[in-house]
Chain A
Amino acid sequence: MSSLLKNRLQEERKQWRKDHPFGFYAKPVKAADGSLDLQNWVAGIPGRDNTIWENAVFPITLTFPDDYPSKPPKVKFPAGFYHPNVYPSGTICLSILNEDQDWRPGINLKQICLGIQELLDTPNPDSPAQEPAWRAFGKDRPNYEKKVLEQAKKYTK
């Protein structure tokens, strides 16, 4: 691991521990030998209150590439996650996570997590990543909401 990558990820961890938004969690995963793997993190994104996503914490994984922070981390929900901007593999389609769009090296973990929370209840119908959720969101809102509520139940706090 390059020192730049290591320094930055340690700093991210330090900052997160010092201060992070309420209801969220984020931590590096433990490698097989018990040491921390700083390039792979797990985190939880709580749905906002008063939305169909409330009362649940949705798990994500973050994978930091070797050239982070020049390149953005790859962020995924569990495969098959129901959301118009989440690919069937679970990969999240969000402009700040796209190297060719709005990723900038100064964006920190907190901004990423808040961005994803924001995306949950305000999907972007112009860049669909999966068909079922996108179609239901546009054409059959009651069914969409039903599916989202069912999914939220699975991840209740």
Chain B
Amino acid sequence: MSDDQSFMNYSPDEFESDAEFEYEDDDEVVEVASASQSDDGVVDDDYDDDEGDGEFEEGDYENDNAGDASDFKQEDTLSTKKDLVEYKAHSTKDLVAKLSAQTKNISSVLELTDDNALTLLQFYSWNSERLMEEYMDDPDRVKTAAGVIVDGSTKAGSTFKKYNKGEFMCFICCDEKTQTYQLSCGDEYCLDCYSKYIKDKTSSGKVIKCPNCDVALNSQDLDFIAGEGESFKLIESSIKEYVERHRSYKWCPSVDCPNVVEILNFADIPNIVSENHVPVVTCNHNHQFCVSCSFENHTPVPCGIAKQWVTKCKDDSETANWIMSNTQQCPKCDSSIEKNGGCNHMTCKKCRYEFCWICSQDWTSHGTSYYQCTAFRDNPNDKAKNKEKEELTAKQKLRNLTKNSLKKYLHYYNLYAVHESSTKLDDKRCKFVEEKVRELQETSGISWIEAQFLVESAEALLKARKVLKWSYAFAYYCDRTGLLDIFEEVQAKLAESVENLSKLFEIEDPLEIVRNKLEFLNKSHFLQERQKAMISCTLESIDYGCLSGKD
């Protein structure tokens, strides 16, 4: 087997390709890919056909959310103790290694070269079962479709060629070029066009084929034409494909986070969600997120309500509500008009229609009674007028109703938004303080372990604030009952503790911070207790049917 298969020799720490191509500087044709790679694959007896979804190889993975309550780790307070998500956190590198293992597996079972197995797997979007099934049926058809064989024979190898000026014209750019590349199919193009073509296609994660026919380019071809590492880029794009193919894999939704979480009990997720628990996982970069919503950890709010809230905040429904409660439509052209002062004699800016703000009637019928609408007093017994009046009060009522619901929404939204921005400020502040203390460690010899309290406190603060923030979204969807009063009391206490701890982080002097260690520990411990209380209070409220889910 040729030794330049960078992907197959991959180990997480050194993934640079060690492929080396040689070509001489004269006009001679140089063989690039070796032709005799086939048929030396050894069948691996230990083939494990669980490869694929939901494998459980690394023992009984225990989610650390299950830690006991006295443990100082905060995970347990954020998730409930039953119905946990079982998961494994992966980095992109782990996945590359995993795909490489899968490729090795296929190559040994189907007796192919690793390179060909890789092409086949990419062609089948990493669905090894389908590949195996179809391969067993008709290997030649599968190989031809994926482009690893041409005209029924194994690929003969690719060639890099050099020409003198005027000897070769590339059909893609239709220019005379001196350096070209030719695949076993005989199609030959200049290196520039080839390289541009490959770089265009790498992000697809799919097999890259000859610019004219169905022959596949293997990793040597890719690395030679587009520079070393190009085949690795294709593998990285393949990972995207792989994660999208397998529903039990989820990308971490944090901005620019390259980590993936593999959910081992994927089938249980709907149950967990329907029990109003939030399936929270933590990625390798310590980001917590809900795997059902692919959104930040929104404990204690159940997934459905969280989704409702986020959509509500995002869309413009509230703008519409505002327009409804604060404007009237011009009776003639239906433009929205806000009355920002002046008398009831309105003139529509658009259609110049003159009407009365109170009764929406044509202004001419009002005569000289400029400042008081008399439209109803004129004929109190007139049936038609009475009906109009009823309609009008109904309209008014609706307007007041939307005005009230808008008020309620804005109240909770403001609280929610305040804590969201405070989270960001806290995050900054905590990092700043940690930096200060790190300096202190260097200058005054405080040990790392002694300074850990600060990291823990910061984490506790950020988590508790998130819970607090989401509790406002929860309150918005609750009916006003006695239980809600209790809920709000617990909420107020949590808010108080959050503010208390947040205040401690305002201390500037590092020495002072260290002196306050006990205070930090006490406050964050207290905060955690209150956070727990908040979560259980939320769950209780759900059990008692407080959560109506209505706007």
A binds B: yes
| Residues of A that sit less than 8 Å from B by CB | 4, 7-8, 10-11, 69-70, 104-108
B493 within 8 A of A: no
B200 touches A11 (CB 8 A): no
Interface contact A7-B173, CB-CB below 8 Å: yes
Q: How far is the CA of A70 from the CA of B193 in the complex (A)?
A: 10
Report the separation of the CA atoms of residues A10 and B175 in the bound assembly, to the nearest whole angstrom: 11
Size of the chain B interface, CB-CB below 8 angstroms? 17
B174 touches A8 (CB 8 A): yes
- Residues in B with CB closer than 8 Å to A11 are 169, 171, 174
Name the interface residues of B156-188: CB closer than 8 Å to any CB of A: 169, 171-175, 187
Q: Is B369 an interface residue (CB 8 A)?
A: no
How many pairs of residues, A versus B, come closer than 8 Å at their CB atoms?
35
Q: Mark B27-59, 1 if CB is under 8 A from A, else 0.
A: 000000000000000000000000000000000
Q: Out of B169, B175, B197, B213, name the residue touching A105 (CB < 8 Å).
A: B197
Other A-B pairs beyond A11-B171, A105-B172, 5, CB < 8 Å: A7-B175, A11-B174, A70-B200, A105-B197, A106-B210
Is the beta-carbon distance between A106 and B174 smaller than 8 angstroms?
no
Are B211 and A106 touching (Cβ within 8 A)? yes
How many angstroms between the C-alpha atoms of A11 and B213 in the bound complex? 20
Tell me the minimal C-beta distance from B485 to chain A in angstroms.
Answer: 58
B187 touches A106 (CB 8 A): yes
> CB-CB contacts of B196-237 with A at 8 A, as 1s and 0s?
110010000000011111000000000000000000000000
Please measure, in the bound complex, the distance between the C-alpha atom of A7 and the C-alpha atom of B212, giving whole angstroms: 18
Chain A residue at smallest Cβ distance from B187: A106
13 of the cross-chain contacts (CB-CB < 8 Å) are: A7-B175, A8-B173, A11-B169, A11-B171, A11-B174, A70-B196, A70-B197, A105-B197, A105-B211, A106-B172, A106-B211, A106-B212, A106-B213
- Write the nearest CB–CB distance from A9 to chain B, whole angstroms: 9
Give the distance in Å from the alpha carbon of A106 to the alpha carbon of B190 in the complex: 11
Given the complex of chains A and B, what is the CA–CA distance between A65 and B141 in angstroms? 35
In the assembled complex, the Cα of A107 lies from the Cα of B169 at a distance in Å of: 15
Given known A70-B200, A105-B193, A105-B197, contact A4–B212 (CB-CB < 8 A): no
CB distance from B514 to the nearest CB of A (A): 60
Q: Name the prevailing secondary structure of the B interface residues.
A: loop
Q: Is the CB of B211 within 8 A of A108?
A: no
Is the CB–CB distance between B171 and A108 below 8 Å?
A: yes
B174 in contact with A7 (CB, 8 Å)? yes
CA distance in complex: A106, B197 (Å): 10
Q: Does B189 count as interface, using CB distance less than 8 angstroms?
A: yes
Q: Which residue of A lies closest to B214 (CB)?
A: A102
| Residues of A with C-beta under 8 A to B169 | 11
Evaluate contact between B210 and A4: CB separation under 8 angstroms.
no
Chain A minimum-CB-distance residue to B197 = A105
What's the Cα separation between A107 and B212 when bound, in Å?
Answer: 5
Q: Which residues of B contact A (CB under 8 A)?
A: 169, 171-175, 187, 189, 193, 196-197, 200, 209-213
Q: Name the residue on A nearest B212 (C-beta).
A: A106
CB neighbours (8 Å) of B171 from chain A are: 8, 11, 106, 108
Contacts of A70 in B (CB 8 A): 196-197, 200
CB distance from B155 to the nearest CB of A (A): 18
Complex-state Cα separation, A70 to B497, whole angstroms:
60
Separation in Å of the B341 CB from the closest CB of chain A? 54
Residues on the B chain within 8 Å of A107, using CB: 212
Bound-state CA distance A4–B211 (Å) is 16
Chain A residues within 8 Å of B210, by CB: 104, 106
Q: Is the CB of B189 within 8 A of A106?
A: yes
Closest to B173 in A: A4
Chain B's closest residue to A4 (CB) is B173
Chain A residues in 8 Å Cβ range of B175: 7
Q: How far is the CB of A28 from chain B (nearest CB, A)?
A: 15
A69 to B172 Cα, complex, angstroms? 7
A108–B213 Cα distance when bound, in Å, is 11
Q: In the assembly, what is the distance between CA of A69 and CA of B193, in Å?
A: 10
Query: Roughly how many angstroms separate A97 CA and B209 CA in the complex, as a whole number?
Result: 16
Which B-chain residue is minimally distant from A103 (CB atoms)?
B211
Which residues from B are CB-within-8-Å of A104?
Answer: 209-212
Q: How far is the CB of A106 from chain B (nearest CB, A)?
A: 3
Q: What residues on A are CB-neighbors of B189 within 8 Å?
A: 106
Least CB distance, B158 to chain A, in whole angstroms? 15
B-chain residues with CB within 8 Å of residue A10 when the two chains form the complex:
174
Pick from A70, A105, A107 the residue with the most CB of B within 10 Å. Answer: A105
Closest 10 CB pairs of A and B: A106-B212, A106-B211, A7-B174, A11-B174, A104-B211, A8-B174, A105-B172, A105-B211, A4-B173, A69-B172
Complex interface: chain B residues within 8 A of A105 (CB): 172, 193, 197, 211
Contacts of A8 in B (CB 8 A): 171-174
A7→B174 CA distance, assembly (Å): 6
Bound CA span A108–B175, Å: 16
Closest beta carbon of chain A to B179's beta carbon, Å: 17
Closest to B193 in A: A105
Instruction: Give chain A residues whose Cβ lies under 8 Å from the Cβ of B211.
Output: 104-106
Min Cβ gap A93→B in Å is 20
User: Which residues of A lie under 8 Å from residue B212 when comparing CB positions?
Assistant: 104, 106-107
A80 to B211, CA, bound (A): 33
Nearest B residue to A6 via CB reads B174
Cβ–Cβ < 8 Å partners of B193 in chain A:
105
B380 to chain A: closest CB distance in Å? Answer: 62
Complex Cα gap A4–B197 (Å): 14
How many angstroms between the C-alpha atoms of A104 and B210 in the bound complex? 8
In the complex, what's the smallest C-beta–C-beta distance from A130 to chain B, in angstroms? 29
B267–chain A nearest beta-carbon distance, Å: 32
Choose among B169, B174, B211 the residue with the greatest number of A CB atoms under 10 Å from its CB: B174
How many angstroms between the C-alpha atoms of A104 and B189 in the bound complex? 12
Which residue from chain A places its CB closest to the CB of B201 in the assembled complex? A104
Q: Give the CA-CA distance A144 to B210 in the complex, in Å.
A: 38
**Complex Cα distance A8/B173, Å?**
6
CA A151 – CA B213 in complex, angstroms? 33
